Amino acid sequence: MDSAKAKRLEKTLQWMLTIVRIVIGWHFLYEGIAKILTPEWSSAPYLAGSKWIFAPLFQQMADSTSVIAVVDFLNIWGMILVGAGLMLGFLTRWASLAGAVMLFFYFVAYPPFPGSMFGVPAEGEYLWVNRNLIEFFVLVALIFVSRDYLFGLDRLFGKWKDEKARKPIPDAPAQGQPGLYRREVIKNLISVPALGAFAYALYKKRKWDSFEEKFLKVEGIDANSGATLLKFNYASLKDLKGQVPKAVINYTDKDGKPAQFELSRIIMGGNLIGGWAHSRDLIYVSKLVKTYHTDEKVIQTLALAEKCGINAIITNPQLGRVHQKYLHEFKGKMKFISDCGINLDFQKGIAMSLAVNSDALYCQGEITDRWASETWNDPLKRTVAERMELIRKGLEEIRRHGKPAGIGAHKIEAIKTCVDYGLKPDFWVKTCHSHNYWSAHPESPWKDNMFDYDPAETIRYMESLKEPWIAFKVLAAGAIEPEVGLKYAFTNGADFVCLGMYDFQIVEDVNIALDTLAGIKDRQRPWMA
């Protein structure tokens, strides 16, 4: 390569390295300023959610208010100083070192390994390598790059010092002689227009944010219920009042010995996650919730629920795949209670549920309702007695595998039929809600609007049963306020409540449940778990 080509290549390299340094500096600087402009920002949730080898240390830091205050200060001002240094090319090596150290800790807190990244906003898909790691190696490289290859204040001051050392009384440099001539100064002040662009972009961003804030404060505007959701504040873990209390269901293990199955009083429902929205005549809602609940969102939701003390989810065996992913890739501990609801085939549902390693199984309510009915048109022409015998065999099959076995139903008549035929599950799963909501029409044919057809009889009859009772549909699929539905279910005899929740509802619902459980005084049915 001739000297002219080498010089052009060197100049190109200088400009590319300088631009890369400025771009990373821009990123750091805005991250720091954005945190200052967000008074409620804290590193605590980020640290608390860490899952890798340093998770215990980070979580311990998150639990200390004084430590978090220091960490937040170092994060904010570290980013600002690193960003300013990189953009100006001032103390570049020190800024690169400090930035690399920060990026290292960000990386080890949430490395892009399977099981470590859920709950962290990401602009793409990562496998081992993410933005933090890329910027880390770039900054490490910049530590070893000579100032002569990076336009900025370091190079400008270096040239000035060299000139002073060479000529204490400098004069105009001769042609071709190195010195502080105008072009050199302009090149090394390249960051000035970059900082100007940054300041302009920040001004425009803050102008919009200010407009949005003022708009939300206009009298009569409700951003939370408007057609366009401009702002959505919901309870976070810092608002959690405590952990959901737990109780046990007694059952028999595979060796025939007494065993206990520990459950939180609140259990996650799986309908919203699975896309069974029960949204009355809103035909698009099921597709909407399916779109919202990606695998990552489901895993985030389960993780949040687990942090609140919820230790189980009830859902269809088809969702066992995501649950197994949560257990094995993300090291979760959420238990899986399968309804065995596969095409009104209890035995097939059992097989599928065991295949996904369900922790407890029961006969889905729809299966029990139909199989217990004398008027159901069974395509296989089986009698009620024959169908009850299939449920009995199903319970035995579940118990052979050492799992708690239950029976579910929407209609109290189905529960009565099971009892009359001598079926004795380890637990019942029965709907429980009042008809005190606008879409409840007991006199009309069922339209996916009611799930406990005779609330008074449900309460009366379930009081006579000695097995634990998991109540579901306690909010009538979103038609009843949680404060009302939870109080109704627990006061009227439920031992556990299965509650369908979005991630943004979990903390608030758990707080309501804690207040409800603490305030129950007129419960008639003894706690059976």
The answer, yes or no, to whether residue 460 has pLDDT greater than 80, is yes
Long-range contacts of 159-166 (CB under 8 A, 24+ apart): 159/184, 159/188
Output the average pLDDT for the chain: 85
DSSP 3-state assignment of 498?
strand
User: Of 431, 494, 523, 512, whose CA–CA distance to 244 is shortest?
Assistant: 512
Global pTM reads 0.68
Q: What is the largest CA-CA distance in the chain?
A: 111
Both tokens assigned to 88: 């100006």
Read off the pLDDT band of 288 (50, 70, 90): confident
Is the pLDDT at 463 greater than 90, yes or no?
A: yes
pLDDT of res. 39: 77
- At residue 166, the pLDDT reads 64
pLDDT above 90 covers a percentage of the chain that reads 49
φ and ψ of 425, to 5 deg: -80, 170
Give residue 179's pLDDT band: very low, low, confident or very high (50, 70, 90). Answer: very low
User: Tell me: the pLDDT tens digits for 344-400?
Assistant: 999 999 999 999 999 999 999 999 999 999 999 999 999 999 999 999 999 999 999
Q: Which residues pair with 504 in a beta bridge?
A: none
Q: Which helix (H) or strand (E) holds 431?
A: strand 427-431
398 by Cβ neighbours in 10 Å (0-12 / 13-18 / 19+) ranks as buried
Range among 21-25, 213-217, 262-266, 326-330 with highest mean pLDDT value: 262-266
Identify the pLDDT of residue 167.
60
Residue 165 confidence (pLDDT): 67
Residue 478 and residue 473: Cα distance in Å, rounded? 8
Q: Is the pLDDT of residue 58 over 70?
A: yes
Across 337-372, b (16+ Cβ under 10 Å) vs e yields bbbbbbebebeebbebbbebebbbbbbbbebbbbbb
> 50-59, 133-142, 154-163: which has the minimum mean pLDDT?
154-163
d(CA 390, CA 227): 50
For residue 65, the model assigns a pLDDT of 86
The alpha-helical segments, DSSP class H, found in 144-245 are 153-166, 182-188, 191-217
254: nearest Cα among 362, 392, 405:
405
Tokens 């015998």 identify what position?
A: 389
Residue 330's pLDDT is 75
The reported pLDDT for the residue numbered 481 is: 95
Query: pLDDT tens digit string along 182-231?
Result: 666 776 677 777 777 777 777 776 665 554 455 444 444 444 433 333 33
Non-local (6+) Cβ contacts of 492 within 8 A are: 432, 459, 523, 524, 525
Residue 33 and residue 80 in contact, taking contact as beta carbons nearer than 8 Å: yes
The predicted pLDDT at position 216 comes to 43
DSSP string over 178-201: -S--HHHHHHHTTHHHHHHHHHHH
Can you tell me the distance from the alpha carbon of 445 to that of 341, in angstroms, rounded to the nearest whole number? 24
Residue 168 has pLDDT above 70, yes or no: no
Torsion 444-450-456-461 (CA) sign: positive
Taking residues 489-515, report their average pLDDT: 95
Interatomic CA distance for residues 12 and 251, integer angstroms: 74
pLDDT of residue 9: 82
Lowest mean pLDDT among 56-70, 95-109, 206-220, 240-254: 206-220
Torsion angle in degrees (nearest 10) through CA of 10, 11, 14, 18: -160
For residues 490 and 432, is the Cβ–Cβ distance under 8 A?
A: no
- Given this model, what pLDDT does residue 218 score? 47
Task: Report the pLDDT averaged over residues 85-97.
Answer: 92
In this structure, the strands spanning 246-252 and 427-431 are unpaired
Tokens 């009859």 locate to 461
Mean pLDDT of 146-170: 73
Domains and CATH numbers, the chain: 3-213 (no CATH), 246-519 (3.20.20.100)
